[in-house]
Amino acid sequence: MPRVIVTTNLPPAGDADVLLDEHISTVHLSSDHAAGQLIERLSWAIRDAEQSELDRLARPLLRGVAARPARSTRRRRAAAAA
């Protein structure tokens, strides 16, 4: 049976996220309404996959930015207390 799968690109380590994995048949294209529902599910999965990839790309940047001030603040406090 035909199948539609929407995944993210493979990350550097680990498996890709699967956002849609659906068996389809001609009934999904038998009417405008059914075809519209299939397209709607595809568009949700594509948007979610795109957002997931953007989030994954932003995570290392956010961790690096957030970690530096926290460490330097702790060091300054420790030095001031000593």
Please list the pLDDT of the chain residue by residue as tens digits (82 residues): 899 999 888 766 667 888 899 999 999 999 999 999 999 999 999 999 999 888 888 876 555 554 444 455 455 555 555 5
The set of residues, in sequence order, having a beta carbon less than 8 Å from that of 34 and lying 6+ positions away, is 27, 28
Q: Which residue is it, tokens 């957030």?
A: 66
Q: Closest Cα partner for 52 from 4, 14, 2, 3?
A: 14
Q: Which two tokens stand for residue 57?
A: 């790309």
Residue 17 near residue 49 (C-beta atoms within 8 A): yes
Q: Closest Cα partner for 40 from 22, 55, 64?
A: 22
pTM, entire model = 0.64
Q: Where are the domains of the chain?
A: 3-81
Torsion sign (Cα): 4, 48, 46, 6: negative
